Structure 1
Amino acid sequence: MDITPIPRSSEPEHSLFDALGGDTFFRPLVARFYAQVKEDDLIGPMYPDQDWEGAENRLRWFLEQYWGGPRTYQEQRGNPMLRRRHLPFPIGEAEADRWLELMGRSLDQFSEEQLPPAYRAQLWNHMQRVAYMMINQGPRAL
């Protein structure tokens, strides 16, 4: 039996990270999100005042890596293990909903040209799955 290799495309693969403009998209997204978190009465207190920049970097690194960008998160923090990293924080449905509310507002600040609806839907679907996966208090806790 003769096995002929499938020719590979000479065009590089493009990720959502690339399609959205890379860091020029994710940096303002995360900055807008944390500007709201700092003022939020429900989830804001979960963040240490002295580490806002660190929190912002970690979320940005995670999102960029997840969507095909640099592996900075992996290099700086190791495997994401998001649920385990968030266990020390009491996260119920209200906290997950608030996180999504603030992230939704951050996404809404982009025009459709900057964030086409299909890409927004991909991002939003992921955000919802992750937010609800973090719940560790109340009836939805896994």
Structure 2
Amino acid sequence: MQEIRHRSIYDAIGGVETIKKIVDSFYSRVAKHPLLIPIFPEDLTETARRQTLFLTQFFGGPRAYEAERGHPMMRRRHLPFPITPSRRDAWLDCMEEALNEVGIEEPYRTVMFEKLTLTANHMMNTPE
């Protein structure tokens, strides 16, 4: 039987410092992506801060997002933005590159990407 060393993915990957590195890497890509730039604000500072709060909670860390903003309701919060299958794929590509750049190790990288993929699929709200 394998020993469980961490209570959550958040703990296993190094907590908020690692989440911040992922978010920084991710948004450096989003800021240059032609499909994503139109649906993000010019200044990504607040968006990145909220993403850090969300991913912290999403991967088992403190529930800071919920404490500040209430229930995530991600689909509802994203309805104003046309999220097409191509934009979903672009978002996932940026996130996958960020996970790789930060060096998230297996099995956590795969589990994180699978959870993010499910969420990204749920966010789509506009056909091509």
TM-score, normalised via structure 1 length: 0.82
Say which structure is richer in helix: 2
Equivalent AA in structure 2 for residue 29 of structure 1? I
Deviation (angstroms), 1:13: 6.6
The amino acid of 1:39's aligned partner reads K
Aligned to 1:92: 84
Aligned-residue Cα RMSD (Å) equals: 1.6
Aligned length: 124
Q: Which runs of 5+ in 2 are unaligned?
A: none
Q: Report the CA distance between 1:121 and its aligned residue.
A: 0.8
Determine the structure 1 residue equivalent to 2:9.
16
Q: Provide the secondary structure at the position in 2 that maps to 1:123.
A: helix
Structure 1: 5+ residue runs without aligned partners? 1-11
Q: Could you list the runs of 4 or more consecutive aligned residues of structure 1 that deviate by over 3 angstroms after TM superposition?
A: none
Under a length normalisation based on structure 2, what TM-score does the superposition of the two structures give? 0.91
The structure showing larger relative contact order (alpha-carbon pairs under 8 Å, at least 6 residues apart) is 2
Q: Residues 58, 48 of structure 1: CA spacing in aligned structure 2 closer, same or farther, 3 A cutoff?
A: same
Structure 1 position 110, deviation (Å):
2.9
Cα deviations by residue, 1:55-90 (Å, 9 ceiling, x for unpaired): 001111111011111111011111000000000000
Percent of paired sites with the same residue? 35
